[in-house]
Structure 1
């Protein structure tokens, strides 16, 4: 078993909790309150900017050219994802320039950037990987459930269930396997990021009710 697979398996309970979360299931049924998705779009756009920076720092700190190229190309994938969020924002009237990060978002982004600047790239890759693998997992599971035909969130499911997004997740996991060490620091970074993902969905769910 590869390191990335082992880390994912160790966090499957958190992944299942994310899948069962009412925010995620609301996307599947199309019944998620629009206010919750509006809140999520703003917070996720803020998060993705930090995520892209994390990739860029990892690229600069990469010990070889192959890693440099891979992290930069993954950052490009985040920029594509951000373009989708700008479309969402325009469609649902979200002013991304006025977004204030929630405590959950700030905890997650501060953790990612602190890790990228202070740790070896293997630990950084382990901190970044849960987001990519979890979203691929959620997209694929929701696609299997069969989203409601009139769901306003079908595009979200299509994006994260796509083979292209899964390929990005696998590429990042390859960097975990290439540079990561199977030690407490790597495992704690992965586990903490996965816990942040669940907190992120909970914050969006609560933010949509305020």
Structure 2
């Protein structure tokens, strides 16, 4: 089993807990209040900008052409997500120009920025992978059942093969650069906890 797969398997409890969260279930069945989704969109746009900067730090630290290409592609993927958030913002009148990060958002972005500043690509990639793999998992799981029209675009985006490919790219970088260590395992699990907290704070 690859390191990325082992890390995901070791955190299956958090994945299932997040899938069962009322926010996530509400995305699938349409019961999530629009005001909750508005809060989420604003906070997630703020988060994604920090996520892109963490990718950029990894790109700057890269010495191999394959890594440069991989991180450049991952940054492009974040920019596509931000376009989706801009469309949400226009549809539901969300101001993305002056977002005040909530404590859960500050905790998550601070965690990623701090790790990225250490200059260890493998550790940073391990901390970033849960966001990608978890969202792919949530999208694919929700897409297995009936999906209400209200948030169907969200589900389709994260269930799509294109997003799965991005998650797999990042997992490949973990396998290439990270070692199975307490630091890597702790960073991965901490990110899974922060993901749950992010959804929880948006309700």
Would you say 1:142 and 2:139 are equivalent positions?
no
Q: Distance in 2 between matches of 1:115 and 1:145?
A: 37
Q: Which residue in 1 is equivalent to 2:168? A: 170
User: How big is the shift at 1:65?
Assistant: 2.0
Alignment TM-score, normalising by the size of structure 2: 0.98
Would you say 1:60 and 2:51 are equivalent positions?
no
How many residues end up aligned between the 2 structures?
203
Q: Distance in 1 between matches of 2:76 and 2:28?
A: 27
Q: Which residue in 2 is equivalent to 1:179? A: 177
Deviations 1:10-44 (A, max 9, x none): 11100101100000000111010000000000000
SS at match of 1:88: helix
- The answer for unaligned runs of 5 or more in structure 1 is 206-210
User: How big is the shift at 1:140?
Assistant: 0.3
Q: Which residue in 2 is equivalent to 1:23? A: 23
Q: Distance in 1 between matches of 2:119 and 2:146?
A: 41
User: Would the aligned equivalents of 2:58 and 2:119 in 1 still touch at CA under 8 Å?
Assistant: no
RMSD: 0.7
User: How big is the shift at 1:188?
Assistant: 0.7
Q: Which residue in 1 is equivalent to 2:13? A: 13
Q: Which consecutive aligned stretches of 4+ in structure 1 deviate over 4 angstroms post-superposition?
A: none
Q: Which residue in 2 is equivalent to 1:191? A: 189
Q: Which residue in 2 is equivalent to 1:208? A: none
Would you say 1:87 and 2:87 are equivalent positions?
yes
Deviations 1:134-164 (A, max 9, x none): 000000000002212xx21000000000001
SS at match of 2:144: helix
User: How big is the shift at 1:80?
Assistant: 0.5
Alignment TM-score, normalising by the size of structure 1: 0.95
